[in-house]
Amino acid sequence: MSYFSGIAAVYWKDVLLEFRTRQSLSTMFTFCLTIVIIFNFVFEPGSPAVVEVSPGVLWAAFTFSGLLGISRSFSFEIDRGGLQGLLLCPVERSTIYFGKVLGNVTFMLLIEAVTFPIFVVFYNLPPSMNLLGLGLVFLLGTLGFVAVGTLLSAISANTKAREVLLPVLLFPVAVPVLVATVKSTGPLLRGDDLAQVASWVKLLLAFDLLFLAASSLTFEFIVEE
User: Could you list the residues that contact another protein (CB under 8 A)?
Assistant: 148, 151-152, 155, 158-161, 165, 168-169, 172-173, 175-176, 179-180, 183, 199-200, 203, 206-207, 210-211, 214-215, 218, 221-222, 224
Closest to another protein by CB, 19 or 221: 221
Question: Do 149 and 67 meet the contact criterion of CB atoms below 8 Å apart?
Answer: yes
Closest to another protein by CB, 27 or 158: 158
Q: How far is the CB of 100 from another protein (least distance, A)?
A: 15
Closest to another protein by CB, 44 or 224: 224
Q: How far is the CB of 173 from another protein (least distance, A)?
A: 5
Q: How far is the CB of 57 from another protein (least distance, A)?
A: 18
Map residue 44 onto helix, strand or coil. Answer: coil
User: Can you say whether the dihedral through the CA atoms of 53, 50, 137, 112 is positive or negative?
Assistant: positive
CA atoms of 14 and 5, how far apart (whole Å): 14
Question: Do 194 and 201 meet the contact criterion of CB atoms below 8 Å apart?
Answer: yes
Of 203, 175, 199, which is closest to residue 187 (Cα–Cα)? Answer: 199
Q: How far is the CB of 62 from another protein (least distance, A)?
A: 17
